[in-house]
Amino acid sequence: MKVLVLLVASIALCAGNAVPLVPGDNSHYVEGESRYFWMPDGEGVPHLVDLEEPVDQDMLSIRNGANNQYWLFTRQNPNNAQVIVNGNANSIWNSNYASGRPLKVIVHGWNSDGNSAINPLVTSAFLAAQDANVIVVDWRALANSNYLTATNGVPGVGQFLGNFLVWLINTAGGNWNNVHLVGFSLGAHVVGNAGRQAGGRPARVTGLDPAGPNWVGNSNALNRNAGQYVEAIHTDGGLLGIFNPIADADFYPNGGRNPQPGCWVSTCSHSRAYELFASSVRTNHFQGRQCGNINQAENNQCGGSTLNMGNGVISKRGSGLYGLSTGGSWPF
């Protein structure tokens, strides 16, 4: 009997440490046990992550939140970024920033940059829906390091972003009740730290499939203290994304797990979060129904009160778990 137990444990250990061979396939992944998984870059291309790879402390000390870049887009410059430099007031005065407009902030995830797919998709959606200041945060200096190094750098990146927003509004004007922070994957935890650094003043914070590996139970993860209203959209829960509720309102489209409609691999389901969000900003057609518990959400068996998923309405408020169904292709 002891031999059998040891054999089963040995097989489980080997499975947890086995290198997955099919790019994008995370069906092997067991939260808290698996060493390897596939994570998409900014264009959806899967890259193998090793959770035992050493953290590059030298890189963390050099490529930290001080390297953040802040790219402003408005209806006057929808495609060509104007760079606002933290601490340089002239960079604001020489831009199209207008204090009377809503401020939208978008933060990409791992192995990405300001030009990655999420940014033009969500930026164009925001500008189509309303006259806004949209700031894309480029934190590539750290995001393009190994996953554990980037993960360890997230709190600092978020704190620098929070300080930048305080400086921006104090210097050029603005209203915290018009500030909406949006982050994808690791970027969701960046905006969580930014919102807390700003004293929870942002009116709204949206986490798009907040990254799961090394983040479950992590005190630096996105939580309800990041803003006046915090929401999360879960599309690859239990694999690349956190599955358990972490926000005021947590949405579980199609059960919140892989595979999402039209997806065959986990990396696609993870990225689907920002595609659904961009569509919701343009059309606001995703109606969630409140769930009594997490099992109802996972099985998409929710029939309670309604709250729309996503959208760009700054005054949106709500709480609870919500389930809904979407299509498999744009606009879903």
Give the pair of three-digit tokens for residue 279: 């569509």
Q: Among 112, 236, 270, 279, which one carries the catalytic annotation? A: 270
Q: Among 185, 266, 269, 280, which one carries the catalytic annotation? A: 185
Active site residue 270: yes
Q: How far apart are CA 111 and CA 140, in angstroms?
A: 7
**Within 10 Å of residue 256's Cβ, how many Cβ atoms?**
30
Q: Position of tokens 């554990």?
A: 148
Buried b or exposed e, range 96-125, using 16+ CB within 10 angstroms = ebeeebbbbbbbbbbbbbbebbbbbbbbbb
Q: How far apart are CA 288 and CA 255, in angstroms?
A: 11
Q: Among 56, 138, 209, 250, which one carries the catalytic annotation? A: 209
Q: How far apart are CA 87 and CA 73, in angstroms?
A: 19
Q: For residue 59, what are the contacts with CB-CB under 8 A and spacing of at least 6?
A: 142, 145, 149
Counting other chains too, the contacts that 58-64 makes at CB distance below 8 Å and 24 or more residues apart are 59/142, 59/145, 59/149, 60/142, 60/149, 60/152, 60/153, 60/156, 63/141, 63/142, 63/145, 63/153, 64/142, 64/153, 64/156, 64/157, 64/160
Active site residue 234: no
Give the pair of three-digit tokens for residue 178: 């018009």
Active site residue 248: no
Which residues form the catalytic set?
185, 209, 270
